[in-house]
Amino acid sequence: MTPKQKLAFEKYLKTGIYFVTCIEPCLKRVKHKTGPNKGKLYTTLWYGGKRPTNSRCWGWYKKLKEAIIAVKENHNDIHEDEFSYAVIEKIPMGTVSIGTKEIQWFVWEGPRCPSPREGKYVECDKPKWSEGICDWSI
């Protein structure tokens, strides 16, 4: 991307809104079959003829601070005893947006069932299994 394109893209991103999406990935541990890591285990999305993740976009916010509060406080029980991860993305206005910016990832910490209200989402790095996937909310 040229400096001029980068500047135009950054300006374009300023028009976006923040989407909150919760995700439950279907993960599987598999062994590398070739290369220097042959035989070592890694985690990947498992398709098995089904969707690799279950996700739900819970809402959108004009301000990032409001989106972060909604996730951290588990507004309206967005966890639903189901979603291990949450992501906040900034998506520009328009039809077929040209890209997104993942602002923050969260992982659920604490009990799930039978008392999910005791847990909470905490900030985390982008999970390895999610690399190469974008536009979680749309």
Q: What is residue 114's predicted lDDT score, i.e. its pLDDT?
A: 56
Q: How far apart are CA 118 and CA 113, in angstroms?
A: 10
Q: What is the pLDDT of residues 74-85, one digit of tens each?
A: 988 888 888 889
How confident is the prediction for the chain on average, in pLDDT?
80
Q: Is 10 helix (H, G, I), strand (E, B) or coil?
A: helix
Apex 105 CA angle, 41 and 31, nearest 5: 10
Most confident of 6-10, 44-48, 100-104: 100-104
Average pLDDT for residues 29-52, to the nearest whole number?
71
- Domain residue spans in the chain? 15-25+54-125
Cis peptide before 114 (omega within 30 of 0): yes
Q: What is the pLDDT of residues 49-65, one digit of tens each?
A: 555 578 889 999 989 99
Q: What is the pLDDT of residues 84-97, one digit of tens each?
A: 899 999 887 766 66
This prediction's pTM: 0.73
Q: How far apart are CA 99 and CA 24, in angstroms?
A: 22
